[in-house]
Amino acid sequence: MMRLLLGLLLLGHLMVVTHGNPILEAPETVTGPWKGDVNIPCTYSPLQGYTQVFVRWLVERGSDPVTIFLRDSSGDHIQQAKYRGRIHINHEVLGDVSLQLKTLEMDDRSHYTCEVTWQTLDGNQLVRDEIIELRVQKLPVSKPTVTTGGGYGFTVLQGMRTSLQCQAHGSPPISYVWYKEQTDNPEPIKVATLSTLLFKPAVLADTGSYFCTAKGRVGYEQRSDIVKFVVKDSSKPNKTNTEAPTTMQSPLERKGLPIFAVIIISFLCCMVVFITAYVILCRKTSQQDHIYEVARLHPSEAKNSGETMRVAIFKSGCSSKEPATRTLGNDSSDEPCLDQQYQIITQINGDYTRLLHTVPLDYELLTIKGKSVC
């Protein structure tokens, strides 16, 4: 129990000591390219009550570290001639004391120490340091990438000043070569030996396919992807504004409706046409169902045969299969199917032409629901 209490007290004391103190942050190892530049990070978070007074960078030479850079109240000081003109410490951002080392040599490989000293409000000083291992490698050149200067893109107007830029990573020096493909020859032509291909200004003849190559101290030559560079004639108007469209667009397409909406609207229109045609056909068929037949005898034939004139009425809506017969001159029949609208078809046993000329004017009229039918 006593050991546990002592452990808790020691832990609390360590928390009190470390709480609120600046802490340096730096990686354990950094790798830089031979003949290239490298940045060795070293940062801290500024705290109220702590003022930075010294920054030192040391490099391990033999058994003892050697100071190569010192920053104090009088300014920056480079202590070793080997690093003059090659090192720079950031001072624009408070809390960033990273070391920037240029033109790495193989003997720059070593352990570097980042050391920062702060002064507190009570006059005491606090020192923190971090050790970083620097590795130097002969890196082969990477595949180059092609970009455009000024952000104009690969399509420009005639007369503009622009450029194509080729960039690769690896151990310098890196040499660049620009090529342009030919339409009548499979072999491309060399157009520049710099990383930047400048057009000042761009002309129509500059239009074509370009690519660049990069070669470093070690490794093989690398080739970029082919890019299409287009120079437009600025004197000609834009065809999209002057030429009329060659195809007619429907109102729905001009409004910008999506294709599925056009399909749905077309389907609904077809359904409306089909339903309208079906309703018209059904009404026509319903009217044809109400057919009535009127059979007549000529008065002379009726007189000779001793029969009276009869009307045979057929209606598809009647419940009885037999026709409802009404004898002319005898209005005793009471057929309920006669309450609907009638269409009377006159059938004549004799010759139709003869009937038209022989029917007397004193024919008796058949009255059905207030309507007269000859």
pLDDT, average across residues 137-149: 90
pLDDT in tens, 109-134: 999 999 999 999 998 999 999 999 99
pLDDT band at 95 (very low <50, low <70, confident <90, very high): very high
Backbone angles phi, psi at 126, to 5 degrees: -125, 130
**pLDDT of res. 245:** 43
CATH assignment at residue 38: 2.60.40.10
Q: How many domains does the chain have?
A: 4
Spatial separation of the C-alpha atoms in residues 65 and 271, rounded to whole Å: 91
274 lies in which domain range? 256-288
DSSP letters along 306-321, please? T---EEEE--TT-SSS
More confident residue, 270 or 328: 270
Spatial separation of the C-alpha atoms in residues 96 and 171, rounded to whole Å: 27
Do residue 36 and residue 116 come from a single domain?
Answer: yes
More confident residue, 147 or 349: 147
Residue 91 counted as domain residue? yes
3-state secondary structure of 113: strand
Do residue 120 and residue 69 come from a single domain?
Answer: yes
Do residue 304 and residue 261 come from a single domain?
Answer: no
Do residue 39 and residue 131 come from a single domain?
Answer: yes
**pLDDT of res. 120:** 92
| Least confident span in 57-61, 219-223, 348-352 | 348-352
pLDDT, average across residues 82-92: 90
DSSP letters along 114-157, please? EEEEEEETTS-EEEEEEEEEEEEE-PPPPPPEEEEGGG--SEEE
Q: In the predicted model, is pLDDT for residue 242 greater than 80?
A: no
Do residue 303 and residue 224 come from a single domain?
Answer: no
User: How many CA within 13 A on the CB side of residue 371?
Assistant: 10
pLDDT in tens, 285-308: 665 555 444 444 444 554 444 444
